[in-house]
Structure 1
Amino acid sequence: MKEPAIGIDLGTTFSVVATLDADGKPQTIRTAEGDLTCPSVVLFDENSIAVGQEAVKAATVEAENVADFAKRDIGNSAYHRLIRGESYPPEVIQSLILEKLKRDAEMQVGPFTKAVITVPAFFNEPRRQATADAGELAGIDVIDIINEPTAAALVYGIQQGFLNKTGEANQSERILVYDLGGGTFDVTLMEVSGHQFNTLGTAGDVYLGGTDWDRRIVDLIAEKFQQKFRGIDPRQDPKGMKRLHREAEDAKRALSVRGSITITFEHAGEGLRLPISRED
């Protein structure tokens, strides 16, 4: 039986698996929880590992045992902090996420051993190799590491009709791909001609993404909390920090559609209601 074609977007905050349907069009595969994306979060429980939504839920009470944003450390020798007193290479954490993605996908499309994984266009060779190593640790033969803008251009081209099912351009096209993710950012100008996807220019920042917007809101809430409650800084408590991040992410999403909102935050028996606007 022929294996399904599998592509994996191993993201900083969320990850996605896709395959090709009977018509050759890319389709996202849902997780075991029924979601289109899986949080790139890993809980190192005392006797087991949990990935995705379960890890996110546990983060509010076991923040010190949860690893997130590991993609930002990929290519380094170790994750940026200890977990349960141990140091883990980022590719090990990434491999646990890939194992979850593979297991969930196989429930719907059947067993597979090969996949393509996407990375930011500006990832250097050590980061690309570490990503491939993570796939191998997860039992995946990574047949290619391709740039995220290239993958985006392929899907866009097929959806818009200037690429056929084999990915060939009907005529030469220039495409600007703007990719602001949860933890990384890049802009790539591409020229598509036939089956050739040529990068004309790319720029980006591996340390700029949605989580940095969250962090600015986290700091704003924490500073206001300190001013009101005798210098108490919820950022110094791992559980408080996770609650701050959750409130900040919710606020960021709300401010995407509204001009202003009010945040309610509780910590150490104290509560704060903070109006916040886009201008803040």
Structure 2
Amino acid sequence: MAEPLDDKTAFGIDLGTTLSVVAQVNSAGLPVVLPNAEGSPTTPSIVLFDAGHAVVGAVARESLATEPASVVQLVKRHIGSGWTFDYGGVAYRPEHVSALILRKVVHDAQLLAGPVTQAAITVPAYFSDPMRAATLRAGELAGLEVLGLLSEPTAAALAYGYDRRPAGATGVVVDLGGGTFDVTVMEYDGAELKVRATGGDAYLGGANFDKVLFDCFVERFESAHGLDINDPDAQSLDECAQVSQDWLLRAARAKHDLTSRDRTSVALQAAGLTLRVDVTRAEFVSGSAVLLDEMTEKMADVVAAAGVTQKDISVVLPVGGATRMPAVRERMKEMFGVDPDTSVRPDEAVALGAALFAAQRQLERGGALVMAPSAREYLSELTVTDVTAHSLGISVFETAGERQRPVMTALLLRNTALPASAERTFFTMRPGETRIVVPVLEGESDDPGLCRRVGVVVIDGLPPHRPAHQPVSVTMSLNENGILQVAATDVSTGAQASTTIAREYLANGDASGGAADRMAATMQIE
């Protein structure tokens, strides 16, 4: 007799910038990674468009050097924006490409697990509302019922804590993936996991370290042969793209070599010329100093925001394949004074934690999962409290002397526990206003020009001839997935507007605060 669908545990999916992983909780209550159809635990998050078909994974990665115009990678860095990948007359948005990756990894996982269509998907901790919403949309486009979005460091912490279940411990997760960097401080207390503070960088990851070696190759090759492969006049655009992708792949392999060896040798070829380049680990570390310093600065910032000291930290978890680099682990030990715990594989930890989270969500909904009683009990009691990665507010005007200046007024501060909500009253500025515009911003500066506009709420059709200084109540709320809802009410008339953010502004690629400032002319602070 076939196993009922309700008894299957949902997938946990680490939708990574460079690699994606799927895991599932088995009947013994243990999270396990499900290898893809090629037998690998990880699938390259790369898509090759070939004669109307989309090929995802290792084949697409190998095609980077030969068909660069048909291959898209690092799409996660663009999700939530208006960026597109144009191929065959079709503009693919980031969520469309991400959906293709999700379909591949889910299809392969189903070969082992059967017809499972529910999943939890992880996102970097710093992801904004548009980024999270686009990830959620990608899951839906892939045919999944998304049980929830979970921050990657939180997922890794779940995977670590599941076996150990520490009590009264403070830990730090340092997540350096292929394209992104996260730092999260959290507290363990049995079945309770609470995030204290989080931060990250959308453009810092293993790919940046690959670029260090790539730049080294370019410099050595030009010194030896007088050819700069980045010079568009030296080669055709197609030749330049092919050589660049080939060298980047070789740089990634050299980075892996230098993780376990003190030196490596790379054979380069361009324009019929060849060169063998020797690189030492010391040279690589020296060239990566700026990146390592950026990591150290971010780690210090998040620890300070959490209100803890180095002495309070007893667990340091390296997550993401790039944390295997010795220089990265040395920086972690220098920062926290604790040896990084490597008991959970860094490139699988996020997916394993996501699988636990997915099972917990199913039990929370009353799902009848086949699972060892002790595992069921723990997951039923498990509580995960995440936090906001950014401050959220609106652009309004405040009076400074005889002048008024635009300011970003935060309603929900960074590192507020989720779910969260806040309400504040503002006032119209001029008489006769029939339309109230509430621009929604994200950022840590009170200067709207230094914040990101994530959407707008509009109350329209108000009666004419109203006096100035009419109260408007604005409410912001974030659910457990970090998805933002904003409501505005004109107090005197009761007219309301509510939205989960009008993201058409993002589709136009407008993330500037300037446009938001111009739209904020209807609101002021008391």
Mind listing any 5+ residue stretches in structure 1 that lack a counterpart? 163-168
- 1:166 aligns with none
Q: State how far apart, in whole Å, the 1-side matches of 2:119 and 2:281 are.
A: 41
Checking the alignment, whether the CA contact within 8 Å between 1:67 and 1:83 is kept in structure 2 is no
2:117 aligned residue: 113
Distance 1:231 1:272, change over 3 A: same
Secondary structure in 2 matching 1:172: strand
Counterpart of 1:99, as a letter, is R
- Number of equivalences: 271
- Show the counterpart of 2:515: none
Q: C-alpha offsets along residues 33-62 of structure 1, whole Å, 9 cap, x if unaligned?
A: 000000000001122110001111222210
Q: Measured at CA, do residues 85 and 265 of structure 1 come closer, stay the same or move farther in structure 2, by a change above 3 Å?
A: farther
What runs of 5+ residues in structure 2 fail to find an aligned partner? 233-239, 284-526
* Greater Cα radius of gyration, structure 1 or 2: 2
Matched, 1:220 2:216: yes
Q: Is the 8 A contact 1:4 1:109 kept in 2?
A: no
Tell me what 2:55 maps to: 50
Partner of 2:263: 260
Q: Which residue of 2 aligns with 1:40?
A: 45
How do residues 1-280 of structure 1 correspond to structure 2 at under 5 angstroms?
1=4, 2=6, 3-79=8-84, 82-84=86-88, 86-159=90-163, 161-162=164-165, 171-233=167-229, 237-280=240-283
Residue 194 (structure 1) shift = 4.8
CA contact (8 A) 1:255 1:261 kept: yes
Going from structure 1 to structure 2, the CA distance change for 1:18 and 1:217 (only over 3 Å counts) comes to same
By how many angstroms is 1:262 displaced? Answer: 1.8
Give 1:210 shift. Answer: 0.4
Q: SS of the counterpart of 1:279?
A: helix
Instruction: Please state how far the C-alpha of 1:27 moved relative to its aligned partner.
Output: 0.1
Percent identity, please: 40
TM (normalized to structure 1)?
0.92
| TM-fit CA distance, 1:195 | 4.1
User: Does the CA contact (< 8 Å) of 2:9 and 2:26 recur in 1?
Assistant: no
Q: What letter matches 1:106 in structure 2?
A: Q
Paired residue for 2:356? none
Matched AA of 2:206? G
Q: What amino acid sits opposite 1:113 in the alignment?
A: T
Q: What's the TM-score once normalised by structure 2's chain length?
A: 0.50
Deviation at 1:153, TM superposition (A): 1.0
Distance 2:205 2:67 in 1: 25
| Deviation per residue, 1:67-117 (Å, 9 max, x gap) | 0000111111123x5444543211111000000011101111011121000
